[in-house]
Amino acid sequence: MAKAVVEAKGLSFRYRDTSGKRKALDDVSFEVGEGEFFCVIGANGSGKSTLCNALVGLIPHYFVGRMKGTVLVHGADTRESTVGALSMKIGLVFQNPFNQLSYTAGTVAEELAYGLGNRGVPREEMVWKVERVAKLMRIDHIIHKNPLELSGGQVQRVAFGSTFITEPSVLVLDECTTQLDPLGSEEIFDIVKDLNKRGVTVIMVDHDMERVARCADRVMVMDGGRVAAIDSPSRIFGDPDILARGVAAPDYVSICRALGDRGYYSGGLEIEEEPTIAAVKESLRK
């Protein structure tokens, strides 16, 4: 693995208003290498969103609770760094895009420029960056609209653009396409994959297992606030014990396994070499 840019060591967290209940995160340890596409999956309530908040410093600086262990981003301890300082290194796109709006901007352009303004970026540079990101996110036609007048999908694109525009070296995506239709979702992930190819480290929480299998270098499975497994997509989705933890396999894996159990398919289940329809048909002829 490349040099680690994000490290969690014995990370535990319990929200203040849940005393007596289980920890949201319980002794979580892992590393993400520079330039890696790292996916986090798990059932609802497994701690995925809490982990995202911890990686960018919102835990412990914003959410109240008891934290143990450490999170390092490019060697900086999140407990000793401000959220603002961490945002220069790592950016988060929230699951609910409306939580990401500043509610001080009168237009989409101002919303996109909000983070740049806080960093003192010169006006000329700010203008061309806003125009470039608006076009990339396909929101250039609504750039003069009020963010509060937009649809959920449009706000999702604005939220992603407002994070991407500051050019963090690590992007954390917490199910950031929930408000988009399938086509819009794929358009966003084409952008994410391109950023990853350019060296941006991506940590993605997602419920679309086909996309996870297709994009991830490694997959981490969360279960009850703990790390259940970290491995390649093929090993994760090929492990019945992991799938029993509320994790669904990609459809083609389930289909091929069902056919194999009935003796109709003799091909492999390697995720890196997704079986095509033609390959399955050829196996059925044998």
With cut-offs at 50, 70 and 90, classify the pLDDT of residue 258: low
Mean predicted confidence (pLDDT) in 161-167:
92
- Asked whether the predicted pLDDT for residue 24 surpasses 70, the reply is yes
Q: What angle do CA 5, 135, 93 make, to 5 degrees?
A: 35
pLDDT tens by residue, 182-202: 888 888 888 899 889 989 999
In this prediction, residue 259 has a pLDDT band, given cuts at 50, 70 and 90, of low
Q: Omega into 60 within 30° of 0, i.e. cis?
A: yes
1-89+169-248 in CATH: which number? 3.40.50.300
Strand (E) positions, 119-275? 170-174, 201-205, 218-223, 226-231
Q: Is the pLDDT assigned to residue 260 strictly greater than 90? A: no
Q: What's the pLDDT band for 226 if we cut at 50, 70, 90?
A: very high
Q: Is the pLDDT of residue 93 over 70?
A: yes
Distance CA(158)–CA(150), nearest Å, equals: 10
- For the chain, give every domain's residue range: 1-89+169-248, 97-167, 250-286
- Determine the average pLDDT of the residues in 46-63: 95
| Predicted pLDDT at 179 | 76
Question: Is pLDDT at 275 greater than 60 in this prediction?
Answer: no
Q: Is pLDDT of 266 > 70?
A: no
Residue 242 has pLDDT above 90, yes or no: no
For tokens 């596409």, what's the residue?
Answer: 37
pLDDT for the residue 213: 86
Model pLDDT for residues 114-126, shown as the tens digit of each residue: 999 988 999 999 9
Short-list 258, 257, 261, 266, CA closest to 284: 266
- Distance (Å, rounded) from C-alpha 81 to C-alpha 59? 11
| pLDDT confidence tier of residue 263, bands split at 50, 70 and 90 | low
Instruction: Give the least confident one: 8-22, 247-261, 265-279.
Output: 265-279
DSSP string, 68-120: EEEEEETTEETTTS-HHHHTTTEEEE-SSGGGG--S--SSHHHHHHHHHHHTT
Q: Is the pLDDT of residue 26 over 70?
A: yes
The mean predicted confidence, pLDDT, of the chain is 86
Please state the rounded mean pLDDT for residues 175-187.
Answer: 84
Q: Would you tell me how many other CB atoms lie within 10 Å of the CB of residue 151?
A: 10
What Å distances lie between residue 88 and 69, 122, 222, 278, 285, CA to CA? 23, 17, 27, 47, 56
Closest CA to 239 of 62, 1, 41: 41
pLDDT in tens, 99-116: 889 999 999 999 999 999
Residue 195 to residue 59: CA distance in whole angstroms: 26
Is residue 243 classed as helix, strand or coil in its secondary structure? helix
